[in-house]
Structure 1
Amino acid sequence: MLSSYKGYRMLLVHAHPDDETINNGSTMAMYAALGADVTLVTCTRGEEGEVLVKDLAHLAAHETDSLGEHRVGELADAMKALGISDHRFLGEGEKKYRDSGMMGTEPNNRPDVFWQADLEEASSELVKIMDEVKPHVLITYDEIGGYGHPDHIQAHRVAMRASEKSSWNIEKIYWNVMPRSVIQEGIDAMKKLGSDFMGAEKAEDLPFAKDDSFVHAMVDGNAYVEKKMDAMRAHSTQIEVDGPFFALSNNLGLQVWGNEYYTLVKGEKSEPLDSRGHEMDLFAGVTPS
């Protein structure tokens, strides 16, 4: 890898505050620290999220419906922890998109939710950012949004459509992926301690765990994983310090969050490669311009 990534630009498109940290926190912190310009676009404010902090239960959508603005603050704190200064929401004012809730729930039907957004209109909003930022690398979800959440699926659709419409040619596009072998290792470790990971008996039980053949790149961000953990703590209404994510790291070590995995869907796999043939640098083969 290079010692400096000045002149290199990365854009990440995520559905809700906290998705970016769980999926890409170490990657974001690493490249930002090495000089790359890292831009995060979050499509909703996470208004329909479950509130895990008892004292903040009143923020929930079915009570004061003020969780979204609270999560804006959490996201700002998380980005500060990761060293990211350029983070934006997709759309403002009348074009602001609301969290759609889990698939099959009543909020899916609200006219203002992201799931109901017109694809061409929403992607045009993202094109404005793409044409401004001119990213060399784009990161988003796969076609099922990782695990089937409507906002994740829509974020995938919007990001991919925007990449087609943008006047800027993005050299490499990656989708987040969590390999089954890594999840299985976590499940096995927690079983030995008499616990479980999200109630799963095996990795195949979790919709976001994909076959290892989908892994084309692995970023070793372990030197920056403490920043990721601080960012996870910042998303306190969504991630419990004593919950499954932190339990996994307690049992497997922080490398379970320091290593982040990707499927390359546009561009060529480039050296350096690790012993399994995975790319080690998402900017490999990119010429800054």
Structure 2
Amino acid sequence: MATLLAFHAHPDDEVLLTGGTLARAAAEGHRVIVVVATDGVMKSVAEGGTTRMDELRAAAAELGVARVEHLGYADSGHGKDLYPDPPDRMRFVRASTEEAAARLAAILREEKVDLLLSYDPNGGYGHRDHVKVHEVGKRAAALAGVPRVLEATVPRDAAVRLLRLVRLLRIPLRYDERELAKAYSPGKAITHRIDVRRYAGRKQRALAAHRSQISGGGRLSAVARVLVRLPAPVFGLLLGREWYVEAKTR
């Protein structure tokens, strides 16, 4: 039995990028932990926590995750401009990498983590919080002496095929294939391709647990609404594989 910790930027990222891997690891008897840098909230948080963290815990239960933690940062948002910090905490992208890594490293040491899942250097599609996860995850692994780090990503050629299939299925997602040239990772960099189709049902139910995101008005919300209604085999066809790049730890 090993201990696996997945470090993510926001609630729901854990499902889309690593949900099948987490479900598979838990089913095979490993201890699985999820840590998010932010709670996905742009404003101050009232006492008692946030809906998105409650949704994360529900999704984690579907995947068999044993522990969920939040590093205490606020979502940094999208767009060119960076919003001021809310009164009660700092936006993740403004945080000192060393300080954030120390917070994560404390959990890594406490749990004696054998494998850290983080993000590739591009942060997948380039969101600033995702890029920061890569930087913080890399430093925390070094501080805690984690022996293995796998960086979640998608091979660019697979991303193009997936997006074309999304278009054929009339799932409402706008994209520019030219942007993929600088997103995710080249296929030759992939070291681990994990078939998680057997766990597609769990992954789909975990995604459905993020109700506030599904019911929102953004373009990704429209995609999520379609995904959670698909027959499980079709969902597995779309999201039944997960990819990683093994990072050097020394």
Alpha-carbon distance, 1:190 to partner: 4.1
Show the counterpart of 2:158.
182
Show the counterpart of 1:205.
179
Show the counterpart of 1:254.
236
Q: Deviations over 1:58-97 (max 9, x none)?
A: xxx5xx977x71101110110111111211111xxxxx31
Q: Deviations over 1:230-288 (max 9, x none)?
A: 01011122246983256468595413212111111137xxxxxxxxxxxxxxxxxxxxx
Show the counterpart of 2:6.
12
Mark the CA change 1:155 to 1:80 in structure 2 (over 3 Å): closer, same or farther.
same
Show the counterpart of 2:106.
128
Matches within 5 A, 1:268-283: none
Unaligned runs of 5+ in 1: 1-6, 49-60, 91-95, 268-289
Alpha-carbon distance, 1:186 to partner: 2.7
What is the CA–CA distance in structure 2 between the aligned matches of 1:257 and 1:76, rounded to whole Å? 21
CA contact (8 A) 1:197 1:248 kept: no
Matched, 1:264 2:243: no
User: Which of the residues 145, 160, 172 maps onto 2:123?
Assistant: 145
* Amino acid across the alignment from 1:222: R
Number of residue equivalences: 238
* Amino acid across the alignment from 1:220: D
Matched, 1:76 2:22: no
Unaligned runs of 5+ in 2: none
Matched, 1:230 2:192: no
Matched, 1:98 2:74: yes
* Amino acid across the alignment from 1:80: A
Counterpart secondary structure, 2:40? coil
Mark the CA change 1:122 to 1:192 in structure 2 (over 3 Å): closer, same or farther.
closer
Larger helix fraction of residues: 2
* Amino acid across the alignment from 1:158: V
TM-score (norm 1): 0.73
* Amino acid across the alignment from 1:30: R
Matched, 1:158 2:136: yes
TM-score (norm 2): 0.84
User: Which of the residues 170, 175, 192 maps onto 1:217?
Assistant: 192
Identity %: 30
What is the CA–CA distance in structure 2 between the aligned matches of 1:182 and 1:245, rounded to whole Å? 19
RMSD: 2.7
What is the CA–CA distance in structure 2 between the aligned matches of 1:238 and 1:263, rounded to whole Å? 28
Mark the CA change 1:45 to 1:201 in structure 2 (over 3 Å): closer, same or farther.
closer
